[in-house]
Structure formats: C-alpha cells, structure tokens
Amino acid sequence: MNKIAIILAILLFLPSISLAKDKMEIKYSFSQPVLKKIMCNNILYDEVYLEKSSTYGNSGEPALPAYPSYILLPQGKYVKKINAFAGEKISLGKGYNLMPVEKSIPLGSEKIFPFKNFNLNVYPGKIFTEIGTYSFRGYNILVLAIHPVQYIPSSGEIFYYKEITIEVELCEGKVNPLFRGVEKDKKEVVKKVDNPEVLNTYKTNDLSQSYELLIITNKKLESNFNELKEYKESRGIKTIVEKIEDIGYDADKLRDYIRNAYINYGIEYVLLGGDIDIIPAKMLWVYGLDENVDPYETFMPTDLYYACLDGTFNYDKDDKWGEPTDGENGKDVDLIAEVYVGRACVNSLQEAKNFVEKTIEYDKTKIDEIYLNEICLAGEYLGDYGIASYGGNYLEQLIGECNDDGYSTKGIPLSYNITKLYDGEDGYWNKEDILNVINRGTHMIHHLGHSSTNYNMRLMPEDVEGLENNKYCLIYSQGCYAGAFDYDDCMAEYLTKSENGAFACIMNARYGFFWSYRTDGDSQRYHREFVDAIFGEKIFSIGKANQDSKEDNLYLINRSMMRWCYYQLNLFGDPSINLHVNSPPEKPQKPAGSNKGRIKNEYSFSTFAIDAEGDAIYYKWNWGDGNVSDWIGPFIANETVNATHSWEKRGIYIVKVIAKDEYGGISEWSEPASISIPIFRENIFLKILEAIFKLMNLL
C-alpha cells in the first residue's frame, strides 16, 4: 500500500498505538460488517463483508473476513508473546447460513467438489492468527490476521468486536544484519506498516557507494548486457554487471553474493541474465490444500529465493527447501523482499540481443505513444462453476474501482482503450484474435485461461516466432505452467526471448488456481493486487509491483493455495523498468475557502493535485449553481491553485474540482466543499438616511 493509502486506513480504522520498553499496543477499530445474500447451487447463503478485509479460512469452512495487521517492531526487539483484548461485542442476529470458503481448483480441472460441514462451536474461535515475523531490509515486521467477526453455526449467530487491542510483549535481540539504515529504505517501510512512528527507534546510516541495478550473466552473454548497462547509466541508473563464473554456479552462493551486494552497494534490483542452464534457480517445495482430493505438493523454480535475503530456507536441512518451518529457528521463511528480481531467460547471443533491444525500446517509448493506451483482457472458459465459469468474469475486476469479494483494488482506468476477448455462451475467441491484438501494438495483456509450457493465450511457440509487432507488451497470465522455466522452454521464455512479442511476462511456474462459484481465487488475488500496485499505489517498477502484489496478500499466506502462488509468480523481464502508465492525477484536495458569503461577491477557493509523473495539471471547477468552468491551466503538479466565483441567488452550493494531466488522464472529483449564500434584508432606516443625505447635497 502506498503512503497516502496507509494514512487513510489509519484514519478510518483509528488504531491507537502505544510503545513501552518491553511491550507495545495497537488498537484497531472496526465498522459494522455488511451482510449480503448469495445463491449458490440453488442454496441461499449469507456473506459477510468488512471494509479493508479479506475472506479467510480453509476450503469448506465459513467464509469470514480477516483484517491484515502489519506491525513494525522496534529495532533490536523481537516478539516474546502476543495478547489480544476484544472490546464491545455486538450481535448482528441469528439464523444466518454463511457461504463456505470455496474450493481452490487448478485451471486445468473441471471437477466440482461439495462443501464441507461446519464442525466447530465458534468460527474462527480466536481473535487473531499469527502469520509470522518477517524482515524488510532489516526492519522487522510482525504480520497478523485479525478476526473481528465470529460465527456460531449451531444458531447461525454472527457477532463482531468494535475494537481489538493487540499487545506485543517484546524481548531483546540482535539488530538484523541486513539493516542498512539508508533513507530510501525508510521511505519504503513507511508504506508497509500500520505504526510508522516506530521508525524512530532505527538508526540511520550512509552507504559509501551506491548502485541501483545488479545484472548477473555469463561471459558469453556479457557484451549484450553491457549494452543494457550503458543504456541504464545514460538514464541515471547506476548498474553493475557480474559474471556467474566469478560467483559459482550454485544458488546458495549466488544468494550470498546478492546479499553482499545489497549490503555493500545498496542495490535495489537484480536482473538474472540467463536461462536456468546459465543462472541457477532454487527449487522450493510447496504444499497446498484442495477440496476432497489429495493435497497438492511439488517443487518449483522461484527467483523469490534471490529477493528475500533473510536467513535460511532449509532450517531442518532436508531435501524440501521453502517449508513454512524452514526459516530461522524453525519459523517461516523470509517472504518480504530486500531486492526485486527478474530473469532474462535467454541462452544465445541472439536471444540476449532480442531481450535487451526490446527492453531498451520499450523504455525509450514516449508517454504520448498511442499504443500505450491499448490494453487487452483475454478470458477463457474454465469449466462449469457458476460465476467462475468464464475468465472474463474475473478479468472485469481489473477495471476501475473493484470491491468484489470483500476487498478493494483500483484497476485499469476507463480512459484506456480496453479490448475484451471473452469466451461466453455466444462463442469463443481464437488465436487469430490475440495475434491481431499483439501485432497491431498493445501495451498490456491480462490473461486467464488454460495453459501449459508450450501453450498460452491459445498460442503455440511457432505462433510466437511469427509475431510481427514492433511495439512490445507486458503479459500477465494466470495459466498453468506457462512460466515453468525449469523445463526445456516455456511460453514466458518464447514471448520474451523472441524478436517480437513481449518485453516482459509474469507467469506461473506450476498450476494457477481459481475458486469455484466465486471470483475470489488465489491466483486472482495476486493479479488484482498487481494491477492495483500500478494504478492504485503508483508503483510503476514491474519488479516492485509484482512483489507488492505478494506482500499485500502475505497475511493470507496459509489460505488454500496462496503460498503456492506466492512462490511461483516469476517475472521474466527487467525488474527495474518502469511501466509507461499515463496515470491520472490523484483526486484533488477538497476545495478550501469560505463557507459563508453574500450574493454577487466573489469568493476564492484553492486546491492542488498530486501527479506521480509530475505532469502539468489542468483543473475544472463545478460551482454547484449550474456553472462549470473550462479546463484551467496548465499548472505545476502539487502546486496550490486558486479560482474565484460569485453566486446570484440565495442557497447552499456544493463546490468541487477535478484534475486532468497534460496527456488526458482524468482524476476523480474532489470531496465537496459547501458555501452558504443567504439574502441579507435591506435596512429601511439606512435607506431613508441615505436618501436624506443625497437630498441635502442637492440643496
């Protein structure tokens, strides 16, 4: 979440925070949950929604909202014990039949599973779940899922707590060795936690030398990536290129090297310049629960291992790296990234040349290029699962503000030209449709459908080789195995190493997962948060946006297949590249000015709007009396501007303002201000005196 979103969340939920030497408290306040009816399999269920919360629980259990808690611990302090104290308990009534948590199903499956029976007295029967303590660049963060809403299946009663206080008892420990204490780290952690005031307990340092991007490749491909280095440095991004031969073809040695570069050089991004045969990948073991089938488990290649640099990923020293107890002292493995990692899955000089040229060409694209406004959503038929039968129903959640499934994301603005390729009852789209989309020039493609290592978006490798586009795209797909780069080749590799196609892809190393009868699928969670990172949180770096989508879902890591998806979503592309998103200005500040006035007198109101790219801003004022100004400007972004208006009639008028950047991106309307214009009755006595004085002057 970005800083402004955090501030709003703090104001909304009113957490009260106190810090003592040996303990800290955070108080969370909750609004009343909203109840809705939903029909599923001809059964009428109830659903519970709580603002800024998400569905939590195992498949078949009552679907209840959980609230995310990210608590920054003081420097050198660790968790000794966690206590929770519930405030006023409020019943919402009895007789409710809660919708169960849906099944997590591989995208290739067409099997339908029945719901479980509820078998506990109270769900979830506890106030919080401890997810774990994780570290971001030496800042220790306790992650909890808070359960303000409870359910009694026997009576159907739902109740909630208006307030919950989390008390964390602290103990002394060592300062995290990955703590750098630089200003840019401090700015990032503010966006991640509920209690940023604890930052005052962390010391600050300066690095003697600082780089932003580390590229690791081999001797054969070094010249290609040196070209990328030269380009990056011409854009002000200080870059190092290192050879795997000097480090050693070993995932653990490579992780140690990246950790040292992070500490000593201040790197933020890592580009792995080679396929798995050139740059090794760590194979992590992952396990997930599905409904009425054997649990899924597998080993998968994940570059998350090189991004999350704290501690070990194999505490018990068995052959299964990445178990939830494989972190330091048998705790969870590190899941918050110190650096942001992408991979160029290339083997030859020509493939490396293609990748580098596409990366540079995209980065050089001017923001006013027409094709940057083109986005495609491609959804396929998934099986007979009610609302979840068609991928298009999921992809619609990527557009605009979406509050579906109990959480909020901000997606693709309606100002974009969105092409929708959706399977439906009226027919299916075919590969010629998606080939036309790519060849004519499309900025982003979001896909949900069946895939494999050599099949994605209804394309095969030979189709990719025949692409003719010279305007390159980003592709995000929820399909199975399209990003399995431990196989000979996968579709993500074909799309990024070919002469045309994509400059970057984000794809799954193994199965993608959706939910039957509901759109709150595990893969969908990450997809929505990725789009929200770009358009909601204004995170334009692809690598950072991909990781943000994971960390926003960290409090759900133990839900169904969430860990599976957390591990497998790899970036095939340069993580430091910024998306050319003509992001609209943020909503202007509420107009500031008089709240009372007189007829025909002019009154001034002021506002300002933040624009992430620093574009010039225009404003349009609605004065509430039928008068709306033309676009006024341009003005410098973030600069306070003034406008004046007079009203002709008595009344209370609503004043609001909207902003537009120089490329046409339009904000939301501001919060309204009001001004009251009463009619002042004329004083007859004063009128008589005025007439007498005029008469005397004539005499």
pLDDT in tens, 626-649: 999 988 999 999 999 999 999 999
pLDDT tens by residue, 173-204: 999 999 999 988 998 999 999 999 999 999 98
Summary mean pLDDT of the chain: 90
pLDDT at residue 541 above 90?
yes
Sign of CA dihedral 233, 581, 398, 656: positive
From 153-157, 303-307, 572-576, the region with the lowest mean pLDDT: 153-157
Give percent above pLDDT 90 in the chain: 76
pLDDT tens by residue, 414-438: 989 999 999 999 999 999 999 999 9
Under the banding of pLDDT at 50, 70 and 90, the label for residue 70 is very high
pLDDT tens by residue, 124-151: 999 999 999 999 999 999 999 999 999 9
Residues of the chain with CATH 2.60.40.10: 592-677
Residues of the chain with CATH 2.60.40.3800: 3-201
Euclidean distance between CA atoms 486 and 481, whole angstroms: 10
648 within 8 A of 571, measured Cβ to Cβ: no
Does the reported pTM lie above 0.85?
Answer: no
Euclidean distance between CA atoms 636 and 617, whole angstroms: 6
Under the banding of pLDDT at 50, 70 and 90, the label for residue 294 is low
pLDDT at 106: 66
pLDDT at 663: 74
Side chain identity at 55, as an amino acid letter?
A: T
Angular region, 651: left φ>0, alpha ψ -120 to 50, beta rest: left
- DSSP single-letter state for residue 628: B
Q: CATH assignment of 592-677, given 3.40.50.300, 1.10.3720.10, 3.40.640.10, 2.60.40.10?
A: 2.60.40.10
pLDDT at residue 30 above 50?
yes
Domain 213-572 class?
alpha beta
3-state secondary structure 125-167: CCCEEEEEEEEECCEEEEEEEECCEEEECCCCEEEEECEEEEE
pLDDT tens by residue, 360-379: 999 999 888 999 999 999 99
Residues of the chain with CATH 3.40.50.1460: 213-572
Average of per-residue pLDDT across 352-363: 98
Report the CATH fold assignment for 3-201: Immunoglobulin-like (2.60.40)
Give percent above pLDDT 70 in the chain: 90
Question: What are the DSSP calls for 232-293, one per residue?
Answer: HHHTT--EEEEEHHHH-S-HHHHHHHHHHHHHHH---EEEEES-TTTS--EEEEEEE--SSS
Label the pairing between strands 128-136 and 139-146. antiparallel
Q: Helix %, strand %, coil % for the chain, to 5?
A: 25, 30, 45
- b (16+ CB within 10 A) / e for 333-366: bbbbbbbbbbbbbbbeeebbbbbbbbbbebbeee
From 289-298, 410-419, 624-633, the region with the lowest mean pLDDT: 289-298
Stretch (H or E) spanning 543: helix 542-551
